[in-house]
C-alpha cells in the first residue's frame, strides 16, 4: 500500500522523485506529493488524484534541490484530499515525513502532542510521526554529541529513533529536515523499504521498481531497522541504536521488465506474456532427462517435507485461490491432508499446528501484512514455514525457513494475472516433488512433467480467443450480477474469475462450487443473468453438466470454459471459450486465462482503468 521514493545525490531530486512515483503508482493513487529541500528551505507540493495531477502542480515550480522525499497514497486514515496527502510536515514546517502503514496508537499520541503545543493540519495518523520526531528533535535536553559537524545529524537520527520507539503499528518512513539539508533517514517495521546504492547518489523506496533505473545494487531494511544516508555514505542501525551489517543484494529484474512494451495496459501485457513467464517459472525445475522436479530452494528440507503429517496454507485474495488449488493438489498427488486459511483470519483464532506440520505462505509481493503475520504465528507454534513469493529480497522471503520464487517478473497491474498462474505452477511442482518421495511412481511423475512442459504453449492457444472473448464481454458488460461456477479444481478458478470481474469492472460477481448453486443461489437465475461455468473435461464433468442443465432450464445466460472438441456443452451454452486438453490437476492454469480476458475486456468497455482500479492497491501492507 502506498509508494515511497526519496533521493539524495548530485542531481535535481524533483524529476527523479516524479519518475519514481510513476513507477510506484500501482501501489496507491488517491493523492501524491513531494518535499524538496531547496536553498535551505522545505518546498512542499501535494495534490489529490493521480501523479499527473501532481505534475500539473509542479509545472511552474523550478525546484533545484538534490534531496527530497515523495509519496503516492492509498488512503487509510482520512479522505483522499490534498490536506491528507503526503509528505506531512511537523508544526514548525522544518521536518517532513512520508509514511506507509498504520499507527495504531496515533489517537493517544496526537492528544498528548497537542497538549505539548503541536498543531495538526490533516486527518491522518502519519502526521503524528512528524510531530513526534519534532518534539524529540527540539527537546533542549538533547545535546549535540558529535561536535558541530555532525551534531544536527546525530540529533535528527536520535529524534527519529526515539519517535519510532513510541509507535504501535506498522511503518515504512523517510524523513528529511531543512535544518539538516544533507541527511536522509528511512526506517521500517512491517512495511518494506529498500535502499538503492548508485554512483554518488542514493534512492530509498518502498519498492525496487523505483530504483532499478538508477542502480541494481540495493539494501533491504529489516523490521526495526533504519538507515542514515549522507552525501558521504550510509549507516544501518536498529531503532535501539545497535549497528546492523548491511547486506548488498542484486535487484533481479531490469528496467525493460517494467515497460509496457507496446501494450496499452500492464494488465494486458501481463496476461499475454504468460506463456513466457510460465516457461520462466518452470525453467530449470523440470528435468526431462532424469525425470525429476528440481526445487533448489527447498532441497535441504526434502526429508522434513516427506515426513510431514499435514500441510497448512495461508494467503489472501488471488493467492488464496491459488492456495485452494494447492490444497487439492497436496491431497490428490502427495496424499497429505491440507488446509488453506485466509491469512487475515489465521492469527485471530487458535490454530492447531501439529507436529511435523509444513506451513506454506503465498504472496506475490512477499510483503502482504496479513500473510506475514500468519507466517510469524505459524513459526511461533513450531511449524516449518515455506514461502511462495515473486519478489526477491521481500520480507516473507527472508523470514521463511525456505521457499520457492515464482520468477515471473514484476507484476505491475493491480489485478494479479501472471502471478496466479506462476503460483499454480509452483504449487503443482511442490506437490509432485513431495509425491514422488512418498507414493508416486517415477513413470507417473514423468507423465506429469511432460504435461507441465506443454502448458505455456497451450496458454498461447487460449490467448488467441481474445477477440471473441471481447465480443462476449461487449454483449453482456451492462449486466450487473454474474455467477461463476466450477467443481473440484475449477471451483477456485470460478472464485478467481469472479474476483477479477469485481476488481476491475466493478460488476458484482459470485464464485461458487457448482453443486452449491441449488442450495440457494439458484433463486437468482433469470434470463438477465450471465452464469459462467468452468467446465473442462474432468472427473466431475457429468455432474457439472447437470448443473448447466439446471441453469438452462431457468433461462440463464450460459458462458462456458470447456475443453477443445467438446460438442456436448455447445448444445447448452450460449458462448464457449475453449482450452486444450491436459491433466485435470493442471487445468486451472489454462481455464483461468479466458476469465482474465473476460474481466479485462469488460472493464475496458465500461471505461475503467484496468491497471489502477478504484480503492485498490497492489501490495496490501496494512490490516
**Is 110 marked active-site?**
no
Query: Radius of gyration of the chain from Cα atoms?
Result: 26
Q: Are strands 310-315 and 338-342 parallel, antiparallel or unpaired?
A: parallel
Got the DSSP string for 69-123? Answer: EEEEE--SSS-SSTTTSSPEE-TTSSEEEEEES-BTTHHHHHHHHHHTT----SS
d(CA 127, CA 119): 10
Residue 555 CB contacts under 8 Å (≥ 6 apart), including other chains: 525, 526, 527
Task: Spot the catalytic one: 14, 22, 418, 618.
Answer: 618
- CA–chain centroid gap for 396, Å, is 12
518 is catalytic: no
CA-CA distance, 337 to 582, in Å (whole number)? 25
- Pick from 250, 385, 231, 223: which is nearest to 314 by CA? 385
Residue whose C-alpha is closest to residue 88's, from 26, 53, 46? 46
Measured in degrees and rounded to the nearest 5, phi and psi for residue 184 equal: -125, 130
Q: What is the dihedral of CA 138, 139, 145, 146, to 10 degrees?
A: -10
Q: Spell out the residues 6+ positions from residue 374 whose beta carbon is closer than 8 angstroms to its own.
A: 314, 341, 343, 346, 347, 361
Q: Residues 2, 118, 281, 316: which is the catalytic one? A: 2
At 523 the three-state DSSP class reads helix
Please count the other Cβ atoms lying within 10 Å of the Cβ belonging to residue 278.
25
State the virtual CA torsion across 228, 230, 235, 239 in degrees, nearest 10: -10
Q: Would you name the residues annotated as active-site residues?
A: 2, 618
Amino acid at each position: 500500500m502506498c509508494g515511497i521514493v526519496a533521493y539524495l545525490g548530485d542531481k535535481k531530486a524533483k524529476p527523479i522523485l516524479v519518475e519514481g512515483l510513476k513507477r510506484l503508482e500501482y501501489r496507491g493513487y488517491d493523492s501524491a506529493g513531494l518535499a524538496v529541500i531547496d536553498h535551505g528551505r522545505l518546498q512542499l507540493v501535494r495534490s489529490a488524484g493521480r501523479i499527473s495531477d501532481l505534475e500539473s502542480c509542479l509545472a511552474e515550480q523550478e525546484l533545484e534541490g538534490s534531496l527530497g522525499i515523495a509519496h503516492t497514497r492509498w488512503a487509510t486514515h482520512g479522505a483522499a484530499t490534498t490536506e491528507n496527502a503526503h509528505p506531512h510536515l511537523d508544526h514548525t514546517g522544518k521536518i517532513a515525513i512520508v509514511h506507509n502503514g498504520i499507527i495504531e496508537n496515533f489517537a493517544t499520541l496526537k492528544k498528548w502532542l497537542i497538549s505539548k503545543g503541536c498543531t495538526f493540519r490533516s486527518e491522518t495518523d502519519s502526521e503524528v510521526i512528524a510531530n513526534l520526531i519534532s518534539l524529540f528533535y527540539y527537546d533542549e535536553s538533547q545535546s549535540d554529541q558529535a561536535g558541530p559537524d555532525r551534531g544536527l545529524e546525530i540529533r535528527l537520527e536520535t529524534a527519529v529513533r526515539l519517535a519510532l520507539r513510541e509507535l504501535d503499528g506498522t511503518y515504512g518512513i523517510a524523513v528529511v529536515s531543512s535544518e539538516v539539508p544533507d541527511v536522509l533517514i528511512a526506517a521500517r517495521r512491517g512495511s518494506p523499504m529498500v535502499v538503492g546504492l548508485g554512483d554518488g547518489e542514493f534512492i530509498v523506496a518502498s519498492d525496487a521498481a523505483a530504483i532499478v533505473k538508477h542502480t541494481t545494487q540495493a539494501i533491504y531494511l529489516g523490521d526495526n531497522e533504519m538507515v542514515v544516508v549522507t552525501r558521504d555514505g550510509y549507516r544501518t542501525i536498529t531503532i535501539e541504536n545497535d549497528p546492523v551489517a548491511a547486506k548488498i543484494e542484486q535487484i533481479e529484474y531490469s528496467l525493460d521488465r517494467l515497460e509496457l512494451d507496446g501494450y496499452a495496459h500492464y494488465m494486458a501485457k501481463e496476461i499475454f506474456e504468460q506463456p513466457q513467464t510460465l516457461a520462466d517459472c518452470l525453467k530449470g525445475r523440470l528435468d526431462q532427462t532424469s525425470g525429476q522436479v528440481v526445487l533448489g530452494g527447498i532441497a535441504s528440507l526434502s526429508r522434513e517435507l516427506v515426513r510431514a503429517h499435514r500441510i497448512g496454507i495461508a494467503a489472501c485474495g488471488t493467492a488464496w485461490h491459488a492456495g485452494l488449488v494447492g490444497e487439492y493438489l497436496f491431497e490428490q498427488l502427495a496424499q497429505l491432508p491440507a488446509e488453506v486459511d485466509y491469512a487475515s483470519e489465521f492469527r485471530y483464532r487458535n490454530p492447531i499446528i501439529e507436529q511435523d506440520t509444513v506451513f506454506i505462505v503465498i504472496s506475490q509481493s512477499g510483503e502482504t501484512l496479513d500473510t506475514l503475520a500468519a507466517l510469524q504465528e505459524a513459526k511461533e507454534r513450531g511449524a516449518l514455514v515455506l514461502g511462495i513469493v515473486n519478489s526477491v529480497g521481500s520480507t516473507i522471503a527472508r523470514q521463511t525457513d525456505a521457499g520457492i520464487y515464482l520468477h515471473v517478473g514484476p507484476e505491475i497491474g493491480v489485478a494479479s494475472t501472471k502471478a496466479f498462474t506462476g503460483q499454480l505452477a509452483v504449487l503443482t511442482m511442490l506437490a509432485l516433488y513431495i509425491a514422488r518421495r512418498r507414493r508416486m511412481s517415477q513413470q507417473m511423475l514423468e507423465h506429469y512433467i511432460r504435461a507441465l512442459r506443454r502448458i505455456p504453449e497451450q496458454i498461447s492457444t487460449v490467448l488467441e480467443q481474445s477477440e471473441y472473448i471481447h465480443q462476449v464481454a461487449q454483449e453482456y458488460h451492462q449486466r450487473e450480477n454474474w455467477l461463476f461456477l466450477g467443481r473440484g479444481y475449477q471451483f477456485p478458478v470460478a472464485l478467481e474469475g469472479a474476483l477479477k470481474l469485481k476488481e476491475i469492472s466493478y460488476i458484482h460477481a459470485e464464485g461458487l462450487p457448482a453443486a452449491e448453486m441449488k442450495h440457494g443461489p439458484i433463486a437468482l437465475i433469470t434470463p438477465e443473468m450471465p452464469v459462467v461455468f468452468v467446465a473442462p473435461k474432468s472427473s466431475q464433468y457429468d455432474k457439472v453438466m447437470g448443473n448447466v442443465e439446471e441453469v438452462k432450464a431457468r433461462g440463464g445466460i450460459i458462458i462456458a470454459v470447456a475443453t477443445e472438441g467438446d460438442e456436448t456443452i455447445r448444445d447448452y451454452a450460449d458462448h464457449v471459450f475453449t482450452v486444450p486438453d491436459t491433466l485435470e490437476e493442471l487445468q486451472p492454469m489454462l481455464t483461468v486465462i479466458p476469465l482474465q480476458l473476460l474481466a479485462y475486456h469488460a472493464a475496458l468497455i465500461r471505461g475503467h482503468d484496468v491497471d489502477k482500479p478504484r480503492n485498490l492497491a497492489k501490495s496490501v501492507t496494512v490490516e
